[in-house]
């Protein structure tokens, strides 16, 4: 089938019940390498600035970029290794790209994202596509408007390429879930080894960006859902301060901790995407803090970034995540010291003391936040009780691998006026923030804290669920503070990430320090689509590292 016909068929079929392919919940990972056409992708590892410059020189167009990425999606996500990272493509993507090309030809360029393809996690509203949160209960639900951050992306000139698969309900459904699986999208696979977990819940976004199926992506996080999949897929991921990026138009878990953020192949690209999506939104009171008005040109802040004199606190107790993570972190610390950073051991004095309170907060906030979203947008299910009942009636399709224990526990909570919830929320935020991260930074004093983001990706195991090794970012999630993961190396070809944690509203500093570390080590390598870690890698993309 010719490329144009193939793309047209794909755009018509993706997300339509009559065209969706039927597959087992966990098909065996294919052993074949990607096709030669996929391996010679002309835009492999290209960043936003690279592509913007190429468009300015007339060497490519936004329409050509969209065509190329759509063809690569067909080659790698639908065929080839079948990464299964994308739920739906935007049927207007090529038309939108052509309109942006016309603007450029007329002398109007909106900014660094003008004409750049971007992928969204499928819990973020973006017309005309569905928002499913990975749940069959929401299949075909098409909100009438865009999320606020999508409005900002489109105003900045980005082309929304499509919606990415995710851990169903952003991994807030079961206590023994399998990350990257949803009843709508099936199982997303890690492109570094197809039998390994992509982590979650922003699984498809991470895999698509890592595999060069898009230039950049936007994920969401409540606790680890940007940072973990970014780390195990060899990406940069930024979880902003809660309130820097609006949550309106995003399927929620808990407003105390929810945020959206960029997932990219470089710190510079993360800075460019963050600048586009950050901003005040009257529909999200958390964004009305005056500090949001001081949003930086984050990419400008990266110029001249250096580690010389930067005081870094190493959370050494987090090295127990795994031997591989510990060894990679020690190498990262040595490199930063060599570059002039001052690194000393640090400790969050309250480490882990917030765990029970955090769970209580998430369970208590979930129902009111979710039901507000569902009712405002006239979704197919209007309440948590309806969702639970839908899953029970359709258990063979919705719960073939794991149940909905977290949904059921959330249904039992007494609401936001319950004394137990109020006490837990206050205690968790205090223990993780002022008495946790802030205390550790002050005791150094340190400019930033670092730790391994998590361990290497674990095998996908439908019977046992995730074998999560632990993480270095939990305090930032609970405190609502920013955290940035940057690639720091590999073990058996599987990526490892280093997380940088700072106080509230310190995104500019984290990006500057993370960029300096990234330029020093250049640890990211593109995936090679092995069937498993025991399988020899296929040839990497020809333009890797450009």
The C-alpha atoms of residue 247 and residue 125 are separated, in whole angstroms, by 10
Q: Catalytic residue at 364? A: no
CA dist 492 and 494 (Å) reads 6
Buried b or exposed e, range 227-253, using 16+ CB within 10 angstroms: bbbbbbbbbbbbbbbbbbbbbbbbbbb
Structure tokens at 185: 């999208």
H helix intervals, 394-455: 395-398, 405-411, 419-432, 438-443
Residue 61: closest CA among 11, 22, 117: 117
Burial of 62 (0-12, 13-18, 19+ CB in 10 A): buried
Q: What's the rounded Cα separation, in Å, for the pair 125 and 148?
A: 9
Tokens of 85: 């990272």
- For residue 462, CA distances in Å to 26, 197, 273, 402 come to 8, 11, 34, 8
Please report, in angstroms and rounded to a whole number, the separation of the first and last CA atoms in the chain.
31
User: Cα separation of 527 and 352, whole Å?
Assistant: 34
Strands (E), 378-518: 448-452, 483-491, 494-501
Using CA atoms, how far residue 408 sits from 162, 172, 173, 381, 499, in Å, is: 31, 11, 9, 16, 33
Catalytic (active site) residue 201? yes
Active site residue: 121, 135, 177, 182, which one?
121
Find residue 260's DSSP bridge partners. Answer: 220
Query: Edge-to-edge strands of the sheet including 448-452?
Result: 86-89, 159-164, 117-121, 216-221, 259-264, 236-239, 483-491, 494-501, 448-452, 311-315, 342-346
Residue 402 tokens, joined:
């794991």
**Cα 492 to Cα 439: distance, rounded to the nearest angstrom:** 37
Active-site annotation holds for 225: yes
HSE toward the beta carbon, residue 402, CA cutoff 13 A:
26
Contact between residue 206 and residue 237 where contact means Cβ atoms under 8 Å apart: yes
128 preceded by a cis bond (ω within 30 of 0): yes
Among all residues, which ones are annotated catalytic?
121, 201, 225
């Amino acid at each position: 089938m010719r490329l144009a016909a193939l793309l047209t068929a794909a755009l018509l079929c993706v997300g339509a019940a009559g065209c969706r392919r039927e597959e087992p919940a966990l098909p065996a990972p294919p052993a074949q390498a990607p096709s030669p056409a996929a391996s010679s992708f002309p835009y492999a590892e290209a960043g936003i600035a690279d592509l913007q410059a190429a468009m300015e020189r007339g060497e490519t167009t936004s329409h050509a970029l969209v065509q190329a990425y759509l063809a690569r999606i067909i080659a790698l996500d639908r065929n080839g290794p079948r990464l299964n990272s994308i739920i739906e493509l935007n049927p207007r993507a090529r038309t939108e790209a052509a309109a942006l090309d016309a603007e450029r030809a007329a002398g109007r360029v909106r900014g660094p994202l003008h004409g750049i393809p971007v992928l969204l996690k499928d819990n973020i509203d973006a017309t005309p596509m569905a928002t499913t949160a990975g749940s069959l209960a929401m299949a075909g639900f098409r909100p009438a408007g865009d999320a606020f951050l999508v409005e900002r992306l489109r105003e900045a000139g980005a082309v929304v390429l499509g919606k990415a698969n995710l851990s169903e309900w952003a991994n807030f459904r079961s206590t023994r879930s399998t990350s990257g699986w949803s009843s709508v999208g099936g199982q997303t696979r890690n492109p570094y080894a197809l039998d390994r977990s992509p982590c979650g819940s922003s699984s498809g976004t991470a895999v698509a960006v890592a595999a060069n199926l898009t230039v950049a992506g936007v994920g969401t996080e409540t606790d680890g859902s940007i940072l973990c999949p970014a780390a195990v897929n060899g990406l940069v991921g930024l979880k902003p301060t809660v309130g820097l990026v609006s949550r309106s138009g995003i399927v929620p878990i808990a407003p105390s901790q929810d945020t959206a953020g960029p997932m990219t192949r470089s710190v510079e690209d993360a800075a460019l995407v963050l600048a586009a999506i950050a901003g005040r939104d009257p529909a999200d009171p958390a964004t009305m803090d005056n500090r949001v008005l001081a949003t930086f040109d984050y990419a400008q802040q990266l110029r001249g970034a250096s580690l010389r004199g930067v005081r870094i606190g190493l959370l050494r107790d987090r090295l127990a995540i795994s031997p591989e993570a510990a060894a990679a972190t020690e190498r990262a610390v040595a490199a930063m010291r060599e570059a002039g950073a001052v690194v000393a051991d640090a400790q969050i004095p309250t480490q882990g003391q917030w765990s029970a309170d955090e769970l209580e907060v998430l369970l208590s906030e979930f129902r009111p936040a979710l039901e507000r979203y569902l009712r405002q947008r006239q979704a197919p299910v209007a309440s948590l009780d309806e969702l639970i009942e839908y899953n029970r009636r359709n258990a063979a399709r919705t719960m073939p691998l794991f149940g909905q224990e977290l949904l059921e526990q959330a249904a039992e909570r007494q609401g936001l006026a319950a004394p137990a919830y109020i006490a837990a929320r206050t205690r968790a935020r205090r223990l993780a923030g002022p008495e946790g991260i802030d205390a550790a930074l002050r005791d150094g004093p340190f400019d930033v804290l670092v730790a391994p983001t998590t361990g290497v990706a674990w095998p996908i195991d439908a019977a046992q669920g995730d074998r999560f090794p632990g993480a270095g970012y939990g305090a930032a999630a609970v405190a609502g503070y920013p955290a940035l993961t940057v690639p720091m190396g590999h073990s058996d070809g599987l990526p490892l990430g280093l997380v940088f944690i700072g106080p509230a509203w310190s995104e500019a500093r984290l990006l500057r320090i993370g960029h300096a570390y990234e330029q020093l080590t250049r640890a990211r390598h593109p995936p090679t689509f092995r069937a498993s870690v025991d399988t020899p890698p296929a040839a990497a993309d020809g333009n890797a590292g450009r």
